[in-house]
Amino acid sequence: MSDIELKVKEIQDSAIEALKSADGLEKLNEIRVAFLGKKGSLTQFLKSMKTVAPEDRPKVGKWVNDTRFAIEEKMEETKKKLDAEKMERQLASEEIDVTLPAKMKFIGHRHPNTIALEEVERIFVGMGYEVIEGPEIEYDDYNFTKLNIPANHPAKDEQDTFYITKDILLRTQTSPVQARVMEQGKLPIRMISPGRVFRSDEVDATHSPSFHQIEGLVVDKNITFADLKGTLDVFAKELFGPETKTKFRPHHFPFTEPSAEVDVSCFKCGGKGCRFCKGSGWIEILGCGMVHPHVLEMCGIDPDVYTGFAFGVGLERIALLKYEIDDMRLLYENDVRFLKQF
Ligand code: DAH
């Protein structure tokens, strides 16, 4: 082997040796410059061809070209290898573990109060009632005076509340909506009015300073106590089951005359008496009565032509009974683990 051939072979070998240790594209480029670049060893060698005898030039030219080709081929191969390794590393670092549990979407749940209210609304809307809401911040006049509870009436004391001014308060009952609707003078009236009410009560298992009521009002010609009894009997049977019986106990409310409290037969024991109904067989659910003629008059309705009945139900009371919840405070904590059970 001639000196020239040896020299070319040496360049090729050292290029291939260098490529073996190339660990990235940058290094690869350095090698390309060092061997094949303008000042690279193979190019430099080509320049020295001038010294080669003319008859040897084609042979030497072929060696140089073969060498360039061999180095380029090895470079291409190394580049492919490095690219593949890079991709491999990237895939490994960005690996997706398809066995991981998916992110759970937590969907809320309707509150037992809402479920109970929708049930009550369904029953009354089915009997042709409208649902009308009134303001939570109310005039003393609507909350008390127009409901036959004058300034010094003891009933006012039982319903102590939060006053905003001397004349404006947080309503203690949904009954003021009765006065508001009657005043509008559109007769006949058949409506229920659900909403939040307030009293300055301490929190315990059966009391809260803020709770909900559903008011009912019917005003028309020839409305009698029999209509009231029939309506509330249908309501109780729809809500607590067809076996349910109702009992009307005489009571007093300033805005109804006569007035009554209504008990339903215990839906747990069927009226025999159990822990749920405290042994009596009956559970109290609402207050009601015939709208007091004086209330009709104060709201611009002629009591000689029109009569009406009204009732007021505690929404929480219904929810607690229906779902057998023994502490009202649970209804206000909004713990999803509790809410999800209904
Ligand atoms: N508003 C009364 C209360 O909070 C409940 C009530 C009783 C409403 C009799 C009525 C009714 O409409 O006729 O105690």
The three-state (H, E, C) secondary structure of 197-224, written as one string: EECCCCCECCECCEEEEEEEEEEECCCC
Find the 42 Cα to ligand 1 centroid distance in Å: 107
CA distance 47 to 62: 14
pLDDT in tens, 163-183: 999 999 999 999 999 999 999
- Mean pLDDT of the 226-235 span: 98
Q: Given a cut of 80, is residue 331 above it in pLDDT? A: yes
Interacting residues of 334 by C-beta distance below 8 A, sequence separation 6+:
111
Which ligand 1 atom sits closest to the C-alpha of 197? 4
Provide the pLDDT confidence category of residue 64 given band limits of 50, 70 and 90: confident
Interacting residues of 237 by C-beta distance below 8 A, sequence separation 6+:
243, 244
Which two structure tokens, joined as six digits, stand for 184? 């509008």
Q: 268: closest CA among 257, 253, 286, 281?
A: 281
Kindly give the residue spans of alpha helices, DSSP state H, lying in the chain: 3-20, 25-36, 41-47, 57-93, 112-126, 140-143, 154-158, 176-183, 225-240, 293-298, 315-322, 330-333, 336-339
CA distance 43 to 28: 17
- Residue 312 CB less than 6 A away from ligand 1: yes
> Cα dist. 312→12, 21, 215 in Å?
102, 90, 4
Q: What pLDDT is stored for residue 225 in this prediction?
A: 98
Atom 3 (ligand 1) nearest CA: 173
Mutate to test the pocket of ligand 1, among 177, 218, 253, 313 (most ligand atoms within 8 A of CB): 253
Torsion angle (degrees, nearest 10) of CA 221, 222, 224, 226: -120
- Residue 254 CB less than 6 A away from ligand 1: no
Are 78 and 31 in contact by the 8 Å Cβ rule? The answer is: no
> Cα dist. 112→92, 193, 324 in Å?
50, 18, 11
CA distance 227 to 224: 5
- Residue 248 CB less than 6 A away from ligand 1: no
Are 148 and 295 in contact by the 8 Å Cβ rule? The answer is: yes
Q: Picking from 31-40, 116-125, 196-205, which range would have the lowest pLDDT averaged per residue?
A: 31-40
CA distance 36 to 30: 10
- Residue 173 CB less than 6 A away from ligand 1: yes
- Residue 271 CB less than 6 A away from ligand 1: no
Q: Given a cut of 80, is residue 105 above it in pLDDT? A: yes
- Residue 289 CB less than 6 A away from ligand 1: yes
What's this model's pTM, rounded to 2 decimal places? 0.72
In one-letter notation, the amino acid at residue 19 is: L
- Residue 281 CB less than 6 A away from ligand 1: no
Largest Cα–Cα distance in the chain?
139
Atom 5 (ligand 1) nearest CA: 312
Q: What pLDDT is stored for residue 141 in this prediction?
A: 97
Q: Picking from 43-52, 101-110, 125-134, 172-181, which range would have the lowest pLDDT averaged per residue?
A: 43-52
Half-sphere exposure in the Cβ direction for 304 (13 Å, CA): 0
CA distance 244 to 277: 14
CA distance 333 to 35: 78
Ordered DSSP codes for 25-45: HHHHHHHHHHHHSTTSHHHHH
- Residue 215 CB less than 6 A away from ligand 1: yes
Q: Picking from 18-27, 51-60, 296-305, 309-318, which range would have the lowest pLDDT averaged per residue?
A: 51-60
